[in-house]
Amino acid sequence: AQKITQTQPGMFVQEKEAVTLDCTYDTSDQSYGLFWYKQPSSGEMIFLIYQGSYDEQNATEGRYSLNFQKARKSANLVISASQLGDSAMYFCAMRDRLPTGGYQKVTFGIGTKLQVIP
């Protein structure tokens, strides 16, 4: 059974500073995908970044980067140059292969609430 662990219920960061949000996962599959989503107070789920289990390089998307350490089964999100608009819940999630061969559901962690301080 897969499992996503986010151990930081809340984080504070000073505006313009970098912050790392932790995520560890557990799966017996070799092929899987890791995602980060942002959920502002308005409630929508916004896709941020993806990392495939076979990707050799860490994923980056603008100010977001994913620190992927496969042996440790961790996929931490790094946000550089934090902005006030980054204040939100952040969810780590994993998608892995079903026995049928398809990639179906995404399992989410409990989230980390990030607050950016001016």
Partner 1 sequence: EPEVTQTPSHQVTQMGQEVILRCVPISNHLYFYWYRQILGQKVEFLVSFYNNEISEKSEIFDDQFSVERPDGSNFTLKIRSTKLEDSAMYFCASSDEQPRQPQHFGDGTRLSIL
Q: Which helix (H) or strand (E) segment is 79 a member of?
A: strand 74-79
Q: Does 106 bind partner 1 (CB under 8 A)?
A: yes
Rounded distance, CA 22 to CA 7, Å? 7
Identified binder of partner 1 from the candidate list 1, 44, 57, 85, rule CB under 8 A:
44
Nearer to partner 1, 57 or 118 (CB): 57
Burial class (CB within 10 angstroms; exposed 0-12, middle 13-18, buried 19+) of 109: buried
Residues at the contact surface with partner 1, assessed by CB under 8 A: 31-33, 35, 37, 42-47, 50, 52, 91, 93, 95, 97-98, 100, 102-111
